[in-house]
Amino acid sequence: MSEYSSRSFWLDSCGDDLTPRPSLSQNVSADVAIVGGGLTGLWAAHYLSAQSPGLRIALLEAEICGFGASGRNGGWCSSLFPASLDQLAAMSTSPSMEGQRAHAIAQYRAMIDTVSEVERAARQLGIDADFARGGTLTLATNPAHVPRLQAQVAHQQAWGFGNDDLRWMSPEQTAERVRVPDISGAVFSPHCAAVQPAKLVRGLASAVERAGVKIYEDSRVTSMSPGKVQTHQGSVSAEVVLQCLEGYTPLMPKQRRKVVPLYSLMIATEPLSDEMWQQIGLAQRETFTDGRHLLIYGQRTADGRFAFGGRGAPYHFGSAVRDRFDSDSGVFSSLSSVLHDLFPITKDVAITHRWGGPLAVPRDWTASVHFNRATGMGTAGGYVGDGLATTNLAGRTLADLVLGVDSDVVNLPWVGHCSPRWEPEPLRWLGVNAGRGIAGFADHSERLRRKPARIAERAMRLVTGSH
Protein backbone atom coordinates (compact mmCIF):
# COMPACT_ATOMS: atom_id res chain seq x y z
CA MET A 1 0.00 0.00 0.00
CA SER A 2 1.30 3.45 -0.93
CA GLU A 3 2.19 6.00 1.75
CA TYR A 4 -0.83 7.95 0.51
CA SER A 5 -3.02 5.60 2.56
CA SER A 6 -1.92 7.48 5.70
CA ARG A 7 -3.55 10.69 4.47
CA SER A 8 -7.02 9.69 5.70
CA PHE A 9 -9.18 6.81 6.83
CA TRP A 10 -10.95 7.11 3.48
CA LEU A 11 -7.81 6.61 1.42
CA ASP A 12 -6.67 3.84 3.74
CA SER A 13 -9.92 1.91 3.21
CA CYS A 14 -10.82 2.67 -0.41
CA GLY A 15 -9.50 -0.62 -1.79
CA ASP A 16 -7.02 1.04 -4.15
CA ASP A 17 -3.25 0.57 -3.79
CA LEU A 18 -2.87 4.31 -4.61
CA THR A 19 0.19 3.78 -6.79
CA PRO A 20 0.70 7.01 -8.79
CA ARG A 21 0.08 6.93 -12.51
CA PRO A 22 3.03 7.90 -14.74
CA SER A 23 4.03 11.56 -14.62
CA LEU A 24 4.20 13.97 -17.55
CA SER A 25 7.73 13.58 -18.91
CA GLN A 26 7.52 15.41 -22.24
CA ASN A 27 5.72 18.18 -24.08
CA VAL A 28 2.25 17.12 -25.26
CA SER A 29 -0.79 18.78 -26.81
CA ALA A 30 -4.47 18.49 -25.93
CA ASP A 31 -7.75 20.29 -26.47
CA VAL A 32 -8.34 20.77 -22.72
CA ALA A 33 -5.78 20.77 -19.90
CA ILE A 34 -7.14 20.35 -16.38
CA VAL A 35 -4.93 21.22 -13.41
CA GLY A 36 -5.94 19.33 -10.28
CA GLY A 37 -7.00 15.71 -9.84
CA GLY A 38 -9.70 16.22 -7.25
CA LEU A 39 -13.44 15.93 -7.77
CA THR A 40 -13.80 19.28 -9.57
CA GLY A 41 -11.26 18.45 -12.24
CA LEU A 42 -12.45 14.86 -12.60
CA TRP A 43 -16.13 15.79 -12.87
CA ALA A 44 -15.23 18.40 -15.49
CA ALA A 45 -13.27 15.75 -17.41
CA HIS A 46 -16.18 13.31 -17.12
CA TYR A 47 -18.84 15.67 -18.47
CA LEU A 48 -16.56 17.05 -21.18
CA SER A 49 -15.70 13.58 -22.45
CA ALA A 50 -19.32 12.43 -22.19
CA GLN A 51 -20.62 15.36 -24.26
CA SER A 52 -17.70 15.49 -26.69
CA PRO A 53 -16.13 12.02 -26.89
CA GLY A 54 -13.42 13.05 -29.37
CA LEU A 55 -12.07 15.79 -27.12
CA ARG A 56 -8.42 15.34 -26.11
CA ILE A 57 -8.26 15.96 -22.36
CA ALA A 58 -5.11 15.94 -20.24
CA LEU A 59 -5.42 16.10 -16.45
CA LEU A 60 -2.39 16.91 -14.28
CA GLU A 61 -2.14 16.15 -10.58
CA ALA A 62 0.80 16.97 -8.30
CA GLU A 63 0.34 13.84 -6.16
CA ILE A 64 -2.44 11.30 -6.85
CA CYS A 65 -6.09 11.84 -7.73
CA GLY A 66 -7.95 12.41 -4.47
CA PHE A 67 -4.83 13.48 -2.55
CA GLY A 68 -6.42 16.71 -1.32
CA ALA A 69 -9.83 17.51 0.14
CA SER A 70 -11.57 15.09 -2.25
CA GLY A 71 -9.99 12.15 -0.41
CA ARG A 72 -10.01 13.57 3.12
CA ASN A 73 -13.37 15.31 3.66
CA GLY A 74 -16.28 14.46 5.93
CA GLY A 75 -18.09 12.39 3.31
CA TRP A 76 -21.18 14.59 3.05
CA CYS A 77 -22.74 14.66 -0.42
CA SER A 78 -24.89 17.61 0.56
CA SER A 79 -26.99 20.37 -0.96
CA LEU A 80 -25.29 22.89 1.34
CA PHE A 81 -23.89 25.93 -0.47
CA PRO A 82 -21.56 28.41 1.28
CA ALA A 83 -23.39 31.57 0.13
CA SER A 84 -26.78 32.48 1.57
CA LEU A 85 -29.89 33.04 -0.52
CA ASP A 86 -29.60 36.77 0.17
CA GLN A 87 -25.99 36.82 -1.05
CA LEU A 88 -26.92 34.91 -4.19
CA ALA A 89 -29.77 37.29 -4.94
CA ALA A 90 -27.36 40.21 -4.61
CA MET A 91 -24.99 38.46 -7.06
CA SER A 92 -27.71 38.01 -9.68
CA THR A 93 -27.55 40.12 -12.84
CA SER A 94 -31.34 40.29 -13.10
CA PRO A 95 -32.69 43.87 -13.09
CA SER A 96 -35.73 42.92 -10.98
CA MET A 97 -36.04 41.75 -7.41
CA GLU A 98 -38.23 38.89 -8.60
CA GLY A 99 -35.53 37.78 -11.02
CA GLN A 100 -32.82 38.04 -8.38
CA ARG A 101 -34.90 35.97 -6.00
CA ALA A 102 -35.54 33.36 -8.69
CA HIS A 103 -31.82 33.09 -9.47
CA ALA A 104 -30.96 32.54 -5.80
CA ILE A 105 -33.60 29.84 -5.45
CA ALA A 106 -32.38 28.22 -8.68
CA GLN A 107 -28.86 27.92 -7.21
CA TYR A 108 -30.18 26.15 -4.11
CA ARG A 109 -32.45 23.91 -6.19
CA ALA A 110 -29.51 23.05 -8.43
CA MET A 111 -27.57 21.94 -5.36
CA ILE A 112 -30.48 19.75 -4.24
CA ASP A 113 -30.60 18.15 -7.70
CA THR A 114 -26.83 17.66 -7.60
CA VAL A 115 -27.07 15.19 -4.71
CA SER A 116 -29.19 12.97 -6.95
CA GLU A 117 -26.89 13.56 -9.93
CA VAL A 118 -23.84 12.37 -7.99
CA GLU A 119 -25.69 9.19 -7.03
CA ARG A 120 -26.91 8.67 -10.62
CA ALA A 121 -23.52 9.29 -12.19
CA ALA A 122 -21.68 7.07 -9.71
CA ARG A 123 -24.10 4.23 -10.33
CA GLN A 124 -23.81 4.67 -14.11
CA LEU A 125 -20.02 4.56 -13.88
CA GLY A 126 -20.04 1.49 -11.65
CA ILE A 127 -18.63 3.30 -8.61
CA ASP A 128 -19.63 1.86 -5.23
CA ALA A 129 -18.95 4.74 -2.84
CA ASP A 130 -21.10 3.51 0.09
CA PHE A 131 -23.78 6.07 -0.86
CA ALA A 132 -26.51 6.28 1.83
CA ARG A 133 -29.06 9.06 1.48
CA GLY A 134 -30.10 9.39 5.10
CA GLY A 135 -30.26 13.18 5.21
CA THR A 136 -28.52 15.42 7.71
CA LEU A 137 -29.27 16.49 11.28
CA THR A 138 -28.22 19.81 12.77
CA LEU A 139 -28.55 19.15 16.47
CA ALA A 140 -29.44 21.70 19.12
CA THR A 141 -27.10 20.32 21.77
CA ASN A 142 -27.46 23.51 23.81
CA PRO A 143 -30.60 25.65 24.33
CA ALA A 144 -28.59 28.55 22.88
CA HIS A 145 -28.66 26.78 19.52
CA VAL A 146 -32.46 26.65 19.28
CA PRO A 147 -33.28 30.22 18.17
CA ARG A 148 -30.39 30.19 15.70
CA LEU A 149 -31.47 26.93 14.09
CA GLN A 150 -35.17 27.75 14.07
CA ALA A 151 -34.33 31.07 12.39
CA GLN A 152 -32.52 29.17 9.62
CA VAL A 153 -35.63 27.09 8.96
CA ALA A 154 -37.90 30.15 8.98
CA HIS A 155 -35.56 32.00 6.61
CA GLN A 156 -35.48 29.22 4.03
CA GLN A 157 -39.22 28.72 4.25
CA ALA A 158 -39.68 32.45 3.63
CA TRP A 159 -37.89 31.84 0.33
CA GLY A 160 -40.37 29.13 -0.63
CA PHE A 161 -38.64 25.99 0.65
CA GLY A 162 -40.94 23.63 2.55
CA ASN A 163 -40.77 21.05 5.30
CA ASP A 164 -39.73 18.48 2.72
CA ASP A 165 -36.52 20.53 2.30
CA LEU A 166 -35.80 21.61 5.87
CA ARG A 167 -37.80 21.20 9.05
CA TRP A 168 -37.51 21.64 12.80
CA MET A 169 -37.85 18.50 14.93
CA SER A 170 -38.75 18.32 18.61
CA PRO A 171 -36.48 16.51 21.08
CA GLU A 172 -38.79 13.49 20.87
CA GLN A 173 -38.70 13.47 17.06
CA THR A 174 -34.92 13.89 17.10
CA ALA A 175 -34.53 10.91 19.43
CA GLU A 176 -36.24 8.73 16.82
CA ARG A 177 -33.17 9.27 14.62
CA VAL A 178 -30.31 9.82 17.06
CA ARG A 179 -29.94 9.80 20.83
CA VAL A 180 -27.78 12.59 22.25
CA PRO A 181 -27.85 13.70 25.91
CA ASP A 182 -29.92 16.80 26.75
CA ILE A 183 -30.98 17.40 23.15
CA SER A 184 -33.21 20.44 22.55
CA GLY A 185 -34.30 19.48 19.04
CA ALA A 186 -32.77 19.46 15.58
CA VAL A 187 -33.13 20.65 12.02
CA PHE A 188 -33.47 17.86 9.46
CA SER A 189 -32.86 18.02 5.73
CA PRO A 190 -33.23 14.97 3.47
CA HIS A 191 -30.86 16.47 0.90
CA CYS A 192 -27.63 14.79 1.99
CA ALA A 193 -25.99 11.41 1.64
CA ALA A 194 -23.12 9.82 3.53
CA VAL A 195 -20.38 8.81 1.09
CA GLN A 196 -16.94 7.19 1.18
CA PRO A 197 -15.25 10.07 -0.68
CA ALA A 198 -12.01 8.30 -1.60
CA LYS A 199 -13.96 5.50 -3.27
CA LEU A 200 -15.83 8.15 -5.24
CA VAL A 201 -12.81 10.15 -6.37
CA ARG A 202 -10.63 7.14 -7.13
CA GLY A 203 -13.47 5.45 -8.97
CA LEU A 204 -14.13 8.60 -10.96
CA ALA A 205 -10.46 8.84 -11.94
CA SER A 206 -10.56 5.29 -13.30
CA ALA A 207 -13.82 6.00 -15.12
CA VAL A 208 -12.57 9.10 -16.96
CA GLU A 209 -9.37 7.26 -17.82
CA ARG A 210 -11.45 4.51 -19.43
CA ALA A 211 -13.26 7.24 -21.37
CA GLY A 212 -9.96 8.38 -22.90
CA VAL A 213 -8.86 11.15 -20.54
CA LYS A 214 -5.08 11.12 -20.07
CA ILE A 215 -4.18 11.46 -16.37
CA TYR A 216 -0.67 12.44 -15.33
CA GLU A 217 0.00 12.04 -11.61
CA ASP A 218 3.14 13.11 -9.74
CA SER A 219 3.13 16.09 -12.13
CA ARG A 220 3.24 19.36 -10.21
CA VAL A 221 2.26 22.37 -12.29
CA THR A 222 4.60 25.33 -11.94
CA SER A 223 2.77 27.83 -14.13
CA MET A 224 -0.35 28.30 -16.23
CA SER A 225 -1.03 30.74 -19.03
CA PRO A 226 -3.42 30.91 -21.97
CA GLY A 227 -2.68 27.90 -24.13
CA LYS A 228 -0.04 26.30 -21.91
CA VAL A 229 0.49 24.42 -18.64
CA GLN A 230 4.07 23.91 -17.47
CA THR A 231 5.45 21.25 -15.11
CA HIS A 232 9.05 20.52 -14.09
CA GLN A 233 9.41 17.78 -16.68
CA GLY A 234 7.07 18.73 -19.50
CA SER A 235 4.22 20.91 -20.68
CA VAL A 236 0.73 20.65 -22.13
CA SER A 237 -0.32 22.96 -24.95
CA ALA A 238 -4.11 23.31 -24.98
CA GLU A 239 -6.70 25.78 -26.20
CA VAL A 240 -8.55 25.47 -22.88
CA VAL A 241 -6.88 25.43 -19.42
CA LEU A 242 -8.99 24.74 -16.32
CA GLN A 243 -7.63 25.33 -12.81
CA CYS A 244 -9.23 23.12 -10.13
CA LEU A 245 -6.92 23.38 -7.11
CA GLU A 246 -9.19 24.38 -4.19
CA GLY A 247 -7.10 24.55 -0.96
CA TYR A 248 -3.84 24.33 -2.92
CA THR A 249 -4.61 27.43 -5.00
CA PRO A 250 -2.23 29.65 -2.94
CA LEU A 251 0.70 27.50 -4.09
CA MET A 252 0.34 28.93 -7.60
CA PRO A 253 2.20 32.13 -8.51
CA LYS A 254 0.31 35.36 -7.73
CA GLN A 255 -2.66 33.52 -6.14
CA ARG A 256 -1.71 33.66 -2.47
CA ARG A 257 -4.55 36.09 -1.66
CA LYS A 258 -7.21 34.45 -3.84
CA VAL A 259 -8.39 32.06 -1.11
CA VAL A 260 -7.38 31.27 2.45
CA PRO A 261 -6.41 27.62 3.03
CA LEU A 262 -8.17 26.72 6.28
CA TYR A 263 -7.39 23.36 7.83
CA SER A 264 -10.14 20.99 8.90
CA LEU A 265 -9.19 17.88 10.89
CA MET A 266 -10.87 14.52 11.41
CA ILE A 267 -10.76 11.33 13.46
CA ALA A 268 -12.22 7.87 12.87
CA THR A 269 -13.05 5.30 15.52
CA GLU A 270 -12.80 1.56 15.39
CA PRO A 271 -16.06 -0.13 14.29
CA LEU A 272 -18.78 -0.04 16.94
CA SER A 273 -20.91 -3.06 17.75
CA ASP A 274 -24.49 -3.39 16.50
CA GLU A 275 -25.67 -3.08 20.10
CA MET A 276 -23.90 0.27 20.47
CA TRP A 277 -25.44 1.57 17.25
CA GLN A 278 -28.88 0.52 18.47
CA GLN A 279 -28.37 2.83 21.43
CA ILE A 280 -26.99 5.67 19.29
CA GLY A 281 -29.32 5.57 16.30
CA LEU A 282 -28.30 6.98 12.90
CA ALA A 283 -29.89 3.87 11.39
CA GLN A 284 -30.11 5.53 7.96
CA ARG A 285 -26.50 6.75 8.25
CA GLU A 286 -27.69 10.32 8.71
CA THR A 287 -24.85 12.84 8.70
CA PHE A 288 -24.82 15.18 11.67
CA THR A 289 -23.55 18.50 13.00
CA ASP A 290 -24.81 20.86 15.67
CA GLY A 291 -25.51 24.53 16.23
CA ARG A 292 -22.14 25.62 17.62
CA HIS A 293 -20.10 28.32 15.85
CA LEU A 294 -16.86 26.31 15.50
CA LEU A 295 -18.13 23.72 13.04
CA ILE A 296 -18.25 19.98 13.73
CA TYR A 297 -19.45 17.28 11.33
CA GLY A 298 -19.78 13.51 11.37
CA GLN A 299 -21.20 10.37 9.84
CA ARG A 300 -21.70 6.70 10.55
CA THR A 301 -19.54 4.89 8.02
CA ALA A 302 -20.62 1.84 6.05
CA ASP A 303 -18.42 -0.36 8.25
CA GLY A 304 -19.87 1.01 11.49
CA ARG A 305 -17.35 3.64 12.58
CA PHE A 306 -17.73 7.28 13.50
CA ALA A 307 -15.91 9.57 11.07
CA PHE A 308 -15.90 12.90 12.89
CA GLY A 309 -14.29 16.24 12.15
CA GLY A 310 -14.26 19.91 12.88
CA ARG A 311 -12.60 23.26 12.55
CA GLY A 312 -10.29 24.82 15.10
CA ALA A 313 -6.83 24.45 13.57
CA PRO A 314 -5.07 27.79 13.08
CA TYR A 315 -4.65 29.62 9.80
CA HIS A 316 -0.95 29.67 8.92
CA PHE A 317 0.81 32.90 8.01
CA GLY A 318 1.15 33.70 4.32
CA SER A 319 -1.53 31.17 3.26
CA ALA A 320 1.04 28.44 3.84
CA VAL A 321 0.13 24.86 2.94
CA ARG A 322 2.36 22.19 4.51
CA ASP A 323 1.96 18.47 5.17
CA ARG A 324 2.73 18.97 8.85
CA PHE A 325 -0.37 21.16 9.22
CA ASP A 326 -2.53 18.06 8.61
CA SER A 327 -1.98 17.06 12.23
CA ASP A 328 -2.71 19.03 15.41
CA SER A 329 -2.79 17.06 18.66
CA GLY A 330 -4.85 19.73 20.42
CA VAL A 331 -7.57 19.68 17.78
CA PHE A 332 -7.60 15.87 17.67
CA SER A 333 -8.01 15.78 21.46
CA SER A 334 -10.83 18.31 21.27
CA LEU A 335 -12.61 16.30 18.58
CA SER A 336 -12.42 13.18 20.73
CA SER A 337 -13.87 15.07 23.69
CA VAL A 338 -16.74 16.48 21.64
CA LEU A 339 -17.55 13.05 20.22
CA HIS A 340 -17.60 11.58 23.76
CA ASP A 341 -19.89 14.42 24.93
CA LEU A 342 -22.32 13.77 22.09
CA PHE A 343 -22.17 10.00 22.39
CA PRO A 344 -20.88 8.96 25.85
CA ILE A 345 -20.93 5.31 24.83
CA THR A 346 -17.85 6.02 22.66
CA LYS A 347 -15.65 6.97 25.64
CA ASP A 348 -13.71 3.69 25.54
CA VAL A 349 -13.81 3.25 21.76
CA ALA A 350 -10.38 3.42 20.11
CA ILE A 351 -9.46 6.16 17.65
CA THR A 352 -7.82 4.41 14.70
CA HIS A 353 -7.20 7.31 12.29
CA ARG A 354 -6.35 11.01 12.60
CA TRP A 355 -5.93 13.30 9.59
CA GLY A 356 -6.60 16.72 8.13
CA GLY A 357 -6.10 18.99 5.16
CA PRO A 358 -6.77 22.44 3.70
CA LEU A 359 -10.02 23.73 2.25
CA ALA A 360 -10.43 26.95 0.26
CA VAL A 361 -12.21 30.01 1.68
CA PRO A 362 -12.74 33.07 -0.57
CA ARG A 363 -12.90 36.50 1.05
CA ASP A 364 -16.72 36.60 0.84
CA TRP A 365 -17.10 32.86 1.56
CA THR A 366 -18.75 32.34 -1.83
CA ALA A 367 -17.85 29.58 -4.30
CA SER A 368 -17.65 30.46 -7.99
CA VAL A 369 -17.10 29.14 -11.51
CA HIS A 370 -15.36 31.13 -14.27
CA PHE A 371 -14.53 30.65 -17.93
CA ASN A 372 -13.01 33.29 -20.20
CA ARG A 373 -13.58 32.23 -23.78
CA ALA A 374 -11.13 34.83 -25.09
CA THR A 375 -8.22 33.39 -23.10
CA GLY A 376 -9.49 29.82 -22.76
CA MET A 377 -8.80 29.96 -19.02
CA GLY A 378 -11.30 28.68 -16.46
CA THR A 379 -11.48 27.91 -12.76
CA ALA A 380 -13.87 26.66 -10.10
CA GLY A 381 -13.72 26.36 -6.32
CA GLY A 382 -13.91 28.18 -3.02
CA TYR A 383 -16.34 25.66 -1.54
CA VAL A 384 -15.61 26.52 2.13
CA GLY A 385 -15.86 22.83 3.03
CA ASP A 386 -19.15 22.17 1.22
CA GLY A 387 -17.51 20.76 -1.87
CA LEU A 388 -18.29 17.07 -2.23
CA ALA A 389 -21.51 17.72 -4.16
CA THR A 390 -20.68 21.25 -5.30
CA THR A 391 -17.71 19.90 -7.27
CA ASN A 392 -20.15 17.98 -9.45
CA LEU A 393 -22.18 21.09 -10.23
CA ALA A 394 -18.91 22.92 -10.92
CA GLY A 395 -17.72 20.18 -13.26
CA ARG A 396 -20.98 20.20 -15.21
CA THR A 397 -20.89 23.98 -15.40
CA LEU A 398 -17.29 24.12 -16.62
CA ALA A 399 -18.08 21.50 -19.27
CA ASP A 400 -21.06 23.48 -20.57
CA LEU A 401 -19.12 26.74 -20.54
CA VAL A 402 -16.22 25.21 -22.47
CA LEU A 403 -18.52 23.55 -25.01
CA GLY A 404 -20.74 26.61 -25.39
CA VAL A 405 -23.89 24.89 -24.12
CA ASP A 406 -26.52 27.41 -22.96
CA SER A 407 -27.85 25.29 -20.11
CA ASP A 408 -29.59 26.21 -16.88
CA VAL A 409 -26.40 25.65 -14.88
CA VAL A 410 -24.33 28.22 -16.78
CA ASN A 411 -26.87 30.90 -15.84
CA LEU A 412 -26.70 30.36 -12.07
CA PRO A 413 -25.53 33.37 -10.02
CA TRP A 414 -22.23 31.82 -8.91
CA VAL A 415 -21.04 31.69 -12.54
CA GLY A 416 -18.69 34.60 -13.13
CA HIS A 417 -18.84 35.82 -9.54
CA CYS A 418 -15.60 37.51 -8.47
CA SER A 419 -14.73 37.37 -4.78
CA PRO A 420 -12.49 40.16 -3.48
CA ARG A 421 -8.92 39.29 -2.59
CA TRP A 422 -7.97 38.65 1.00
CA GLU A 423 -6.04 41.35 2.86
CA PRO A 424 -2.24 41.28 2.78
CA GLU A 425 -0.32 39.88 5.72
CA PRO A 426 -0.24 40.33 8.65
CA LEU A 427 -3.87 41.54 8.45
CA ARG A 428 -4.99 38.23 6.94
CA TRP A 429 -3.38 36.18 9.70
CA LEU A 430 -4.71 38.46 12.44
CA GLY A 431 -8.24 38.60 11.05
CA VAL A 432 -8.75 34.91 10.27
CA ASN A 433 -7.31 33.66 13.55
CA ALA A 434 -9.23 36.32 15.49
CA GLY A 435 -12.44 35.04 13.89
CA ARG A 436 -11.53 31.49 14.89
CA GLY A 437 -10.84 32.62 18.44
CA ILE A 438 -14.12 34.54 18.70
CA ALA A 439 -16.07 31.51 17.49
CA GLY A 440 -14.42 29.36 20.13
CA PHE A 441 -15.06 31.98 22.81
CA ALA A 442 -18.72 32.24 21.79
CA ASP A 443 -19.17 28.47 22.03
CA HIS A 444 -17.57 28.48 25.48
CA SER A 445 -19.88 31.31 26.57
CA GLU A 446 -22.93 29.46 25.30
CA ARG A 447 -21.93 26.28 27.14
CA LEU A 448 -21.75 28.26 30.38
CA ARG A 449 -24.67 30.67 29.97
CA ARG A 450 -26.99 28.53 27.79
CA LYS A 451 -27.87 31.70 25.86
CA PRO A 452 -26.89 32.82 22.35
CA ALA A 453 -23.59 34.72 22.09
CA ARG A 454 -24.27 37.57 19.70
CA ILE A 455 -20.59 38.45 19.43
CA ALA A 456 -19.99 35.51 17.08
CA GLU A 457 -22.67 36.66 14.64
CA ARG A 458 -21.20 40.16 14.52
CA ALA A 459 -17.69 38.76 14.05
CA MET A 460 -18.79 36.56 11.14
CA ARG A 461 -20.35 39.55 9.42
CA LEU A 462 -17.03 41.36 9.77
CA VAL A 463 -14.97 38.43 8.45
CA THR A 464 -17.24 37.57 5.51
CA GLY A 465 -18.36 41.06 4.61
CA SER A 466 -22.04 40.01 4.77
CA HIS A 467 -24.84 42.00 6.37
d(CA 32, CA 402): 9
3-state secondary structure of 43: helix
Residues 19, 55 share a domain: yes
Q: Is residue 55 part of a domain?
A: yes
pLDDT for res 457:
64
Please work out, in degrees rounded to the nearest 5, the angle formed at the alpha carbon of residue 133 by the alpha carbons of 78 and 209.
Answer: 70
Q: Is residue 115 part of a domain?
A: no
Provide the pLDDT confidence category of residue 1 given band limits of 50, 70 and 90.
very low
What share of the chain has pLDDT > 90, as a percent?
Answer: 95
Per-residue pLDDT of 137-155, as tens digits, reads 999 999 999 999 999 999 9
Residues 431, 402 share a domain: no
Per-residue pLDDT of 402-430, as tens digits, reads 999 999 999 999 999 999 999 999 999 99
Residues 434, 397 share a domain: no
pLDDT for res 464:
47
For the chain, give the mean pLDDT: 96
Q: Is residue 374 part of a domain?
A: yes
Q: Which domain holds residue 46?
A: 3-74+197-259+365-411
Q: Is residue 116 part of a domain?
A: no
Mean pLDDT of 37-42: 98
Buried b (16+ CB within 10 A) or exposed e, 255-270: bbbbbbbbbbbbbbbe
Residues 16, 55 share a domain: yes
Mean pLDDT of 315-323: 97
Buried b (16+ CB within 10 A) or exposed e, 140-170: bbbbbbbebbeebbeebeeeebeeebbbbbe
Residue 467: pLDDT over 50: no
d(CA 39, CA 58): 15
Residues 60, 7 share a domain: yes
Q: Is residue 97 part of a domain?
A: no
Residues 56, 19 share a domain: yes
d(CA 440, CA 442): 5
Which residues, at least 6 apart from 126, have a Cβ–Cβ distance to it below 8 Å?
203, 207
Number of domains in the chain: 2
Residues 433, 403 share a domain: no
Q: Is residue 405 part of a domain?
A: yes
Mean pLDDT of 341-353: 98
Residue 460: pLDDT over 70: no
Per-residue pLDDT of 208-247, as tens digits, reads 999 999 999 999 999 999 999 999 999 999 999 999 999 9
Per-residue pLDDT of 65-111, as tens digits, reads 999 999 999 999 999 999 999 999 999 999 999 999 999 999 999 99
pLDDT for res 466:
47
Domain of residue 38, CATH code: 3.50.50.60
**Residue 24: phi, psi to the nearest 5?**
-75, 120
Residues 431, 379 share a domain: no
In this structure, the dihedral spanned by the alpha carbons of residues 22, 25, 29 and 30, taken in order and rounded to 10 degrees, is 20
Which residues, at least 6 apart from 53, have a Cβ–Cβ distance to it below 8 Å?
211, 212
Q: Is residue 31 part of a domain?
A: yes
Q: Is residue 401 part of a domain?
A: yes
pTM exceeding 0.85:
yes
pLDDT for res 454:
80
Residue 265: pLDDT over 70: yes
d(CA 87, CA 384): 15
pLDDT for res 461:
54
